[in-house]
């Protein structure tokens, strides 16, 4: 289930990292900063994470949401009450240890001169934050869809650029609705690439809509995190 390929010049390795800080971002959203141990990666790549004492099958993938220039690594995750890993991840505190394998993944910027339209649901915003902090692309437009406004993670960091928040179940965003509602009224720029990340239903819906509007298949890159449609 977890990705094993990497375009990076550095092959994946496994290390035990000390947790530096756990950040509470909302009632179910957390970020975890931990030791980088010299890891080189490209913005958009991920690490697999597990905890000492958990079986290997509990290892889960998380996009690195810190920048390539940051001295630590950070991941963003949502606490899933029935999940195997996130309940214990959310209980970590500074000084605890986690098992990290990386870098992996190919959800990276291929041509920084092409405008990047990034459409995310929920924690799918993580790679966009890595692009932003790493200055990986010249022009980034982020469309972030969430159910509750409290889950507009890193909102302040994005608000200086092109940022559209879509909150589906309450007021509090630029639009009350879903990312697909916003995209329907958006005129697609020339030469743009589309990065879609988060719930797989959103990814299919947005990809089909873009293809029907004439966007080339190779201008759309996707990273599915989970199978839910209520963001």
Ligand X SMILES: Cc1cc2nc3c(=O)[nH]c(=O)nc-3n(C[C@H](O)[C@H](O)[C@H](O)COP(=O)(O)OP(=O)(O)OC[C@H]3O[C@@H](n4cnc5c(N)ncnc54)[C@H](O)[C@@H]3O)c2cc1C
Task: Considering the complex, state which of residue 41 and residue 225 has its C-beta at the smaller distance from ligand X.
Answer: 225
CB atoms within 10 A of CB 82: 6
Residue nearest to ligand X (CB): 83
Q: For ligand X, which is the closer residue by CB, 88 or 188?
A: 88
Alpha-carbon separation of residue 211 from 28, 215, 219 (angstroms) = 34, 5, 10
Q: How far is the CB of 101 from ligand X (least distance, A)?
A: 13
> Whose Cβ is closer to ligand X: residue 72's or residue 226's?
226
Cα gap 188→14, rounded to integer Å: 41
Binding site for ligand X (CB under 6 A): 3, 46, 60-63, 75-78, 80, 82-86, 122-123, 126, 223, 225-228
Of 48 and 193, which has the nearer Cβ to ligand X?
48
- Nearest by Cα to 147 from 57, 228, 37: 228
Distance CA 76, CA 36 (A): 15
Q: Please, are residues 163 and 142 in contact by the beta-carbon 8 Å criterion?
A: yes
**Pairwise CA distance, residues 186 & 117, whole Å:** 11
Q: What residues pair up with 182 in beta bridges, in sequence order?
A: none
Shortest Cβ 213–ligand X spacing (Å): 26
Q: How far is the CB of 160 from ligand X (least distance, A)?
A: 23
CB 82 within 8 A of CB 89: no
Nearer to ligand X, 57 or 138 (CB): 57
Yes or no: say if 12 and 105 are a contact pair by the CB < 8 Å rule.
no
Name the strand (E) or helix (H) holding 224. Answer: strand 220-226
- Provide the minimum distance between the beta carbon of 211 and ligand X in the complex, in angstroms, as a whole number: 22
Q: Which residue's CB is nearer to ligand X, number 44 or number 113?
A: 44
Shortest distance, CB of residue 153 to ligand X, whole angstroms?
A: 10
- Least distance CB 113 / ligand X (angstroms): 26
> Tokens in use for 30?
């957390």
Token match 């916003």: residue? 182
């Amino acid at each position: 289930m977890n990705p094993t390929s990497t375009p990076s010049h550095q092959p994946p390795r496994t290390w035990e990292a000390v947790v530096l800080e756990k950040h509470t971002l909302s009632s179910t959203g957390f970020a975890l900063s931990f030791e980088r141990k010299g890891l080189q990666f490209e913005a958009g790549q991920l690490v697999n994470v597990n905890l000492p004492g958990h079986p290997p099958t509990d290892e889960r993938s998380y996009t690195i949401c810190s920048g390539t220039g940051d001295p630590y690594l950070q991941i963003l995750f949502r606490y899933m009450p029935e999940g195997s890993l996130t309940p214990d991840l959310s209980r970590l505190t500074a000084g605890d240890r986690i098992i990290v394998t990386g870098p992996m993944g190919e959800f990276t910027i291929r041509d920084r001169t092409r405008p990047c339209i990034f459409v995310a649901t929920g924690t799918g915003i993580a790679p966009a934050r890595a692009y932003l902090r790493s200055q990986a692309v010249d022009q980034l437009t982020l469309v972030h869809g969430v159910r509750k406004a409290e889950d507009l993670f890193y909102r302040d960091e994005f608000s200086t650029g092109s940022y559209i928040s879509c909150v589906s179940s309450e007021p509090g965003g630029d639009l009350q609705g879903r990312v697909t509602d916003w995209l329907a009224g958006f005129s697609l720029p020339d030469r743009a690439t589309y990065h879609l990340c988060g719930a797989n239903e959103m990814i299919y819906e947005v990809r089909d809509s873009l293809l029907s509007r004439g966007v080339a298949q190779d201008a759309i890159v996707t990273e599915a995190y989970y199978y839910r449609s209520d963001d």
